[in-house]
């Protein structure tokens, strides 16, 4: 880090956080994205003491003895375990505060568009209890639109499809407001679960979530691939004998495994288009829509949505960072973006 960045960081009090089901990202004004960690906490059940957080805690998933639990404290984009979420936020903020003289920072947090008042309060309370002075909430598709450089202040329809770990957010934004939104609790985690179920049903082989996620990233595609590639080698547990079993399956079968959640995501896009006024549909036909979030990197998804909607789909350059970058821009220029906060 340069001397001037360090000096700026000493006095910066503006943070943005994408508190996601799969990953938590933190943005600091003047420095950009400074933290990207899995949203996982390992707890000692006997003492309730936090053993590990983030990348270290993710290694515990599926490998813990009875006295330790590896917990994802967020489910479907919202807080499922308040105390563990609070411990996780506190840990991450402690990391980013190192070497930075920060007092009572302001924080913007991205949340799903379908969040309830109770869920909003849980997020705000968790942040207050770890020393945040002011907490502002922004809907994730709005943040993703800002982070994707869409002209949200113009009287034109801007369509965002943000596919995270726990939710898929479909939204139409115009004049700095959400004209339409749907928060679908089908996203990256559901793709992983579909792969697990498929292997159990067809091959009687059990694998864990980390293995399923790796298969999704390396081999999943929503369209038939011209280059089929080599079959995927998967090591799991034989469900009848309990012993390790190595199977090789064609890559096209992964496409078959994830078809149901992929179809649900595409159907949510179609529902949005069906409900829009003709003017918005005309805007989208001209400008297209943007695909953000980790799910945007699923091979062929943009092309399939284009084929089924006849609307151009652009995958942003850094889809994982869209929400946190947009949240960061919003807190850096609160005068300009004051309309986008929902609390």
Beta bridge partners of 24: 19, 37
CATH of 155-186+261-319, one of 3.40.190.10, 3.30.420.40, 1.20.1250.20, 1.10.340.30: 3.30.420.40
- HEC states along the chain? CCHHHHHHHHHCCEEEEEECCCEEEEEECCCEEEEEEECCEEEECCCCEEEEECHHHHCCCCCCCCCEEEECCEECCEECCHHHHHHHHHHHHHHHHCCCCCCCCEEEEEECCCCCHHHHHHHHHHHHCCCCCEEEEEEHHHHHHHHCCCCCCCCCCEEEEEECCCCEEEEEEECCEEEEEEEECCCHHHHHHHHHHHHHHHHCEECCHHHHHHHHHHHCECCCCCCCCCCEEEEEEECCCCCEEEEEECCHHHHHHCHHHHHHHHHHHHHHHHHCCHHHHHHHHHHCEEEECHHHHCECHHHHHHHHHCCCEEECCCHHHHHHHHHHHHHHCHHHHHHHECC
The answer to whether 3-36+84-142+322-340 and 188-257 have equal CATH topology is no
The answer to whether 147 and 329 have CB atoms below 8 angstroms apart is yes
Q: pLDDT of 61-74, one tens digit each?
A: 999 999 999 999 99
Q: pLDDT of 80-106, one tens digit each?
A: 999 999 999 989 988 887 767 776 688
* Cα–Cα nearest to 172, from 206, 129, 139: 139
Domain boundaries, the chain: 3-36+84-142+322-340, 155-186+261-319, 188-257
CATH topology for 188-257 is Actin; Chain A, domain 4 (3.90.640)
> For position 77, what pLDDT does the model report?
82
Q: pLDDT of 119-149, one tens digit each?
A: 899 999 988 888 888 999 999 999 999 999 9
253 phi, psi to nearest 5 deg: -70, -25
The CATH classification number of 3-36+84-142+322-340 equals 3.30.420.40
> For position 14, what pLDDT does the model report?
86
Residue carrying structure tokens 């340069």: 2
Which residues, given as ranges, of the chain have pLDDT below 50?
1-12
> For position 279, what pLDDT does the model report?
95
The answer to whether 300 and 98 have CB atoms below 8 angstroms apart is no
Phi/psi region, residue 72 (left: phi>0; alpha: psi -120 to 50; beta: rest), is: beta
């Amino acid at each position: 880090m340069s001397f001037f960045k360090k000096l700026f960081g000493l006095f910066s009090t503006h943070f943005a956080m994408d508190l996601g089901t799969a990953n938590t990202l933190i943005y600091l004004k003047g420095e950009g994205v400074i933290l990207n960690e899995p949203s996982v906490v390992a707890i000692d059940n006997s003492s309730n003491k936090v053993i590990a957080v983030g990348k270290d805690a993710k290694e515990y998933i599926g490998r813990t003895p009875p006295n330790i639990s590896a917990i994802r404290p967020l489910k479907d984009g919202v807080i499922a375990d308040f105390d563990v979420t609070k411990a996780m936020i506190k840990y991450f903020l402690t990391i980013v505060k190192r070497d930075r003289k920060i007092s009572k920072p302001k924080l913007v947090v991205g949340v799903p568009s379908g969040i309830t008042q109770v869920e909003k309060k849980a997020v705000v309370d968790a942040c207050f209890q770890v020393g945040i002075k002011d907490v502002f909430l922004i809907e994730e598709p709005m943040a993703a639109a800002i982070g994707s450089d869409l002209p949200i202040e113009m009287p034109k329809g801007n369509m965002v499809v943000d596919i995270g770990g726990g939710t898929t957010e479909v939204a139409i934004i115009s004049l700095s407001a959400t004209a339409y939104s749907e928060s679908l609790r089908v996203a990256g985690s559901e793709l992983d679960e579909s792969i697990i179920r498929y292997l159990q049903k067809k091959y009687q082989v059990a694998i864990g979530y980390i293995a399923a996620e790796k298969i999704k990233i390396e081999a999943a595609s929503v369209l038939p691939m011209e280059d089929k590639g080599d079959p995927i080698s998967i090591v799991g547990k034989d469900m009848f004998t309990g012993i390790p079993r190595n199977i090789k399956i064609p890559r096209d079968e992964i496409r078959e495994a994830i078809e149901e959640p992929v179809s649900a995501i595409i159907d949510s896009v179609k529902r949005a288009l069906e409900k829009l006024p003709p003017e918005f549909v005309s805007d989208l036909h001209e400008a297209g829509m943007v695909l953000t979030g980790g799910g945007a990197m699923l091979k062929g998804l943009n092309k399939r949505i284009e084929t089924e909607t006849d609307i151009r789909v652009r995958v942003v350059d850094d889809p994982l960072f869209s929400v946190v970058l947009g949240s960061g821009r919003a807190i850096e220029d609160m005068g300009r973006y004051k309309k986008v906060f929902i609390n």
